[in-house]
Chain A
């Protein structure tokens, strides 16, 4: 079974631009979560989607948004990029039906975003 895939793997943007990252979960998984990883703040939860609905959201500004499609694929958007948005963005998927935490989240390889 294929794992979680994320595209693109690497991205360079400039301040003020916007960016969209994509995540395809493991087949059959309906929950997708996003995390931001930076050297200073570590791994932080952004949001989680299940059946096209956002179920939980972390403490990030409104510039960070996401959505989930009917096939469970998810996208994350960051508008008006700032230098501090440079990070590794990780997507994780799980079955989702019996959340919370009764299943394991499996992570993709991440998208490394550099904002110049």
Chain B
């Protein structure tokens, strides 16, 4: 069975602080894909990043960075110099080869206070 755990239910920080959202996953597949999505109050899930299981390179996109470690089955997401617009619920998701469906974590509600 596949499972994604986001242990942090809610995080609240002050603007300009760095914040890391944790994601731990379980899968028996050797090929799988990991995702992060952002859900603003409007409800739409906004795609942020996809990473396949053979690519452990960390990625940076502007203020966003992702750290993928197969050894600890983690795919953490860091926002540097957070802004109020980053306030949203963030979901980590896993898709195994052949699964044709995303398995989501419970989400982390991030609040950035001015």
Give A contacts to B, CB under 8 Å: 33, 35, 42-45, 48, 55-56, 58, 88, 90, 92, 99-102, 104-110, 112
Contacts of B50 in A (CB 8 A): 104
Residues of chain B from 91 to 112 with CB closer than 8 A to chain A in the complex: 91, 93, 95-107
Report A17 CB to chain B, min CB distance, Å. 23
Residues of chain B from 15 to 63 with CB closer than 8 A to chain A in the complex: 32-33, 35, 37, 42-47, 50, 52
C-alpha gap A61/B108 in the complex (Å)? 28
Q: Closest chain A residue to B44 by CB distance?
A: A109
Q: B43 near A101 (CB under 8 angstroms)? A: no
C-alpha gap A58/B45 in the complex (Å)? 19
Contacts of B100 in A (CB 8 A): 33, 48, 55-56, 99-101
Kindly list 6 other residue pairs between chains A and B, CB separation below 8 angstroms, not including A100-B98, A101-B96, A110-B43: A33-B101, A92-B45, A99-B100, A100-B100, A104-B50, A105-B102
C-alpha gap A42/B95 in the complex (Å)? 16
- What size tier do the contact residues of chain B reach? 20 to 34
Contacts of B98 in A (CB 8 A): 100
Interface of A is mostly: strand
Report B33 CB to chain A, min CB distance, Å. 4
Which of B43, B45, B97, B102 meets A45, CB within 8 Å? B102
Residues of chain B from 63 to 114 with CB closer than 8 A to chain A in the complex: 91, 93, 95-107
List, sorted by A's number, 8 A–B pairs whose CB atoms are closer than 8 Å: A33-B100, A42-B107, A45-B101, A56-B100, A100-B96, A106-B47, A107-B44, A107-B47
Report B99 CB to chain A, min CB distance, Å. 6
Report B5 CB to chain A, min CB distance, Å. 11
Q: B97 near A90 (CB under 8 angstroms)? A: no
C-alpha gap A10/B111 in the complex (Å)? 26
C-alpha gap A106/B48 in the complex (Å)? 10
Q: A58 near B101 (CB under 8 angstroms)? A: yes
Report B88 CB to chain A, min CB distance, Å. 13
